[in-house]
Structure 1
Amino acid sequence: MLTRFDDFPIHQTPDPISTPATGEKDFYERYWFNGYSKAGDMYLGVGTARYPHLGIQDCGISIVHNGVQHAFHASARANSEPTDLGVGPFNLEIIEPMKVCRVVLEPNETGFSADLTFEARTAAIEEPRHHWSDGHRRIMDTTRFTQFGRWHGWIAYDGLRMEIDRTETYGTKDRSWGVRPVAGGDTRGAPQAPRAMGLFFLWAPLHWDDMCSHYQLFEDTLGRPRFHVGAFLPAYDFANDIPGVEDPGVESMHRLEHRLEFEPGSRMIKAATLAMTSLENDARHEIAFEKQFTYRMKGIGYSHPTWPHGAWKGELAMESERWNLAEVDDLAFENQHVQHLMKVRMGDRQGIGVLEQSIFGPYRPYGLEGHVAAPG
């Protein structure tokens, strides 16, 4: 099927652009954003993804304020034109690639609505290609880039309307594509024999007054690194000041380290110290994290029991929900993938950002056993 992209010289295979190069049903294209106040009292998440082989486009918006997390979910039949990122009343507009995006949620039956603009503060940084196998087949094979920015606009929910100020609201854009497990999975073949699979993932994009820093780490059950990326990125006052899609001024890091402290009785990170070393001058940089509160990624579909990614819910389905942060079961599977809003310190610098954790299965360095059990 031809689309508007087919008029550009960007083809990688003889097929039209709308035809994925892989036949994997789990192939996806995802946009993901977070946003948070400099004061540390509000967190916002937005996500939308297209699953070409499943014919589904879904989305979510979720906000934490005053100890409550509110969430909007929607799913629909995917549009035949991949540049149309609408899901019912939701739409994501790419105003200027790699610089400005706009999220619009028109008034609808759930009581959620929004008009939010994300403006880049840095160039994009490409993360290493992610591979993960379940022992029989590759179940994850993705590429992702991260970009830092600011938000402005407004969001309304539960009878409230919040204005989002560009000078007070930082955020991150996460753009990924490839193959990643979605709802249902592939049930063909013999049942898999029990084995000790695990996932240890940390992701920490941070804003400082004069720059941004990025830390991403994926390790196996023994603590051996599978892939990682660390960087300091120059920050700019306006998107048009950014020198290009990638910035030659980025300082790359290696030797990523972590020391985590967990909440009693769970795997939720209570406090952390992360460190990484410059490839340019071998200087080691240590960052201390102070948690403000925890955002559950199920608010935009991750591990959600009834609104998972890539699930067929009909031509168009929408729903909203809310929960008190103090009442969340930190041992439930659906609540293991989270982002903690963190105030951070690095020497004399103070900043703010998130520390995302996805820690499943055994992990020897911290004495973790079972699937979601707390440290022993």
Structure 2
Amino acid sequence: MIGPADDFLIHQTPDPVRFVGTSDRRFYDRHFLTGHSRDGSIFFLLGMGAYPNLGVIDAFASVATRVTQYTTRASRELGTDRLDTSAVGPFTLEVVEGLRRLRFRGEPRGQAVELDLEWQAVAAPVEEPPLFSRLLGRVVEQGTRLIQTGTWNGFLTVDGSRLEVGPDTWWGARDRSWGVRSMGMEREPAGLAQARRLGRDRPPLWIWSPMQFESRTVHFSLSEHADGRREIETVRQAPSLADGGEALELGAPEHELKFDPDTRELRGGSVSFRDVDGRRTTVALTPLHPGAYLRAGTGYGGPDPWRHGAYRGQNWVDSVSFDLTDPAVTIGIGPAHVLCRMEASTGEVGYGTFETQVYGDFPRYGLYS
């Protein structure tokens, strides 16, 4: 299955580009992007993912106002051309300049969300530690993920209202990842691991936050068990592209958060880390927006039946909406990407998403299932 991508010097295996290095059905190659107005009025999530072993490519655009989250999503057959990321329903994703500029478009098709947005990187990319885990000898997760912050320019239309987007006040981050992962995909038939409920001892606290300041970005990522054990604790600094330089390891992450006891959504608090000078920097978190919810019809699970990689035919597209004023709705579509103003003890002021979720019991914050 030779395709146009085979003319580029990008092969990683002896096979054509169409064939990935594993036959695992869960192999994926995905862009995930966030964006927001710094006044906190709008938050949006964008994504496009290819699933070569399922023969599917899909995409979504989800925009949260303060009262409603609207999501348009689409899917088609992948075909042999891995470079073709256009006409996924109304959506097109163009890599204008690698690690610098992306353009995400959603043409008018009578759906809830339309847009034409260009993302411009402002900081160097941060590569997270490699993802890898096994269960009963099978690879559960294996992949690469990079985080990068930038600004947005263009327009978006949500539920008929058009918003002009400019780089001075519209910031955001992107999560670029690929590998093997089950997140958001349809469940496989039950096997021994599921029958014996293995792998259930996952850390109940999850934090993921690219904190975007004027001169640098600090990426804070942590997963923690109720007894304090951690499986992930990563803090890295990415300098602005204007200043040059590469990402640096910071480390020693700590948190002091406040949650709504009923919805478990972030209500404020702070995080801290060891900075480049060896001193501890504390960042106070002030939520500006009730949140954009990860499972609001975007394929990551929740009450909506659509999942990433699911076959929906050649030209599937539709839209859904969710009432963000109803806790009974939002509790089923979390975790929330909460837009925060971030004030550092160094005097820096930044903005960014603070994605967090607490599963089950976490006594430190008075949360019990």
Q: What TM-score, normalized to structure 2?
A: 0.90
Name the aligned partner's letter for residue 171 of structure 1: G
**CA contact 1:295–1:340 (8 Å) conserved in 2:** yes
Q: 1:284 maps to what in 2?
A: 280
Q: Distance in 2 between matches of 1:73 and 1:96?
A: 25
After alignment, is 183-192 or 334-343 more displaced? 183-192
The letter for the 1-side match of 2:325 is A
Letter in 1 for 2:310: A
What's the CA shift for 1:211?
A: 2.4
Unpaired runs of 5+ residues, structure 1, are none
Cα distance per residue 1:114-164 (max 9 Å; x no partner)? 110000001111001123455663322221000110000011121111110
Does residue 262 (structure 1) correspond to residue 259 (structure 2)? The answer is yes
* Residue ranges of structure 2 left out of the alignment (5+ in a row): none
Distance 2:225 2:9 in 1: 40
Over aligned residues, Cα RMSD in angstroms? Answer: 2.2
- Distance in 1, matches of 2:201 and 2:312, equals 30
1:250-281 Cα offsets, whole Å, 9 max, x none, are 34211111122110223222223111113x43
Please give the alpha-carbon distance, in whole angstroms, between the structure 1 residues aligned to 2:45 and 2:240.
22
Q: Please state whether the residue corresponding to 1:80 is helix, strand or coil.
A: coil
Aligned twin of 1:83: 83
Shift in alpha-carbon separation, 1:330–1:322, aligned structure 2, 3 A? closer
Equivalent residue for 1:338?
Answer: 336
Change (3 A) 1:331 1:147: closer
SS in 2 for 1:271: strand
Letter in 2 for 1:273: S
- CA gap 1:314/1:360 in 2 versus in 1, 3 angstroms: farther
Cα pair 2:63 2:113 within 8 Å, conserved: no
8 Å Cα contact 1:197-1:361 kept in structure 2: no
Question: After alignment, is 345-354 or 185-194 more displaced?
Answer: 185-194
Instruction: Note if contact 1:207-1:352 (Cα within 8 Å) is conserved in structure 2.
Output: yes
Give the structure 1 partner of residue 98 of structure 2.
Answer: 97
Matched residues in 2 for 1:79 and 1:368: separation? 47
Match of residue 356 from structure 2: 357
Q: Give 1:111 shift.
A: 4.3
Give 1:210 shift: 2.8
SS class of match (1:329): helix
Q: Equivalent residue for 2:328?
A: 329
Match of 2:140 in 1: 139
Structure 2: how far apart are the matches of 1:127 and 1:61?
25
Aligned match of 1:309: 308
Q: Given that residues 268 and 330 in structure 1 are in contact (C-alpha distance below 8 angstroms), is that contact kept between their aligned partners in structure 2?
A: no
Aligned to 1:193: 196
Q: How far apart, in 2, do the equivalents of 1:251 and 1:49 lie? A: 29
Identity %: 28
Q: 2:319 maps to what in 1?
A: 320
**Are the counterparts in 2 of residues 198 and 363 from structure 1 also a CA contact under 8 Å?**
no
3-state SS of the aligned residue for 2:251?
strand
Tell me: CA distance 1:38–1:331, structure 2 relative to 1, closer, same or farther (3 Å).
closer
Query: For each residue in 1:20-45, what CA deviation from the matched residue of structure 2 results, as whole angstroms up to 9, or x when unmatched?
Result: 11111000000010111121221111
SS of equivalent residue, structure 2 residue 295: helix
**Which residue is 2:220 aligned to?**
215
**1:242: how far off?**
7.2
Question: Hey, what's the Cα distance between the residues in 2 that align with 1:91 and 1:242?
Answer: 32
SS state of the match for residue 325, structure 2?
Answer: helix
What secondary structure, in the 3-state scheme, does the structure 1 residue paired with 2:309 have? coil
Q: How many residues align?
A: 360
* Contact kept in structure 2, 1:134 and 1:197, CA below 8 Å: no
Could you say if the C-alpha distance between residues 201 and 32 of structure 1 is closer, same or farther in structure 2, counting changes exceeding 3 Å? same
One-letter amino acid of the counterpart of residue 29, structure 1: D
How far residue 201 of structure 1 moved from its aligned partner, in angstroms, is: 2.0
Aligned equivalents of 1:133, 1:52: Cα separation in 2: 22
Distance in 2, Cα, partners of 1:188 & 1:70: 33
User: Bigger CA drift: 358-367 or 40-49?
Assistant: 358-367
Match of 1:235 in 2: 240
Query: 31-40 or 306-315: which moved more?
Result: 306-315
Judge conservation of contact 1:202–1:218 (CA < 8 Å) in 2: yes
Post-superposition shift, 1:79?
3.2
Matching residue's letter, 1:264: P
* Cα distance change of structure 1 residues 267 and 198 upon mapping to structure 2, 3 Å threshold: farther
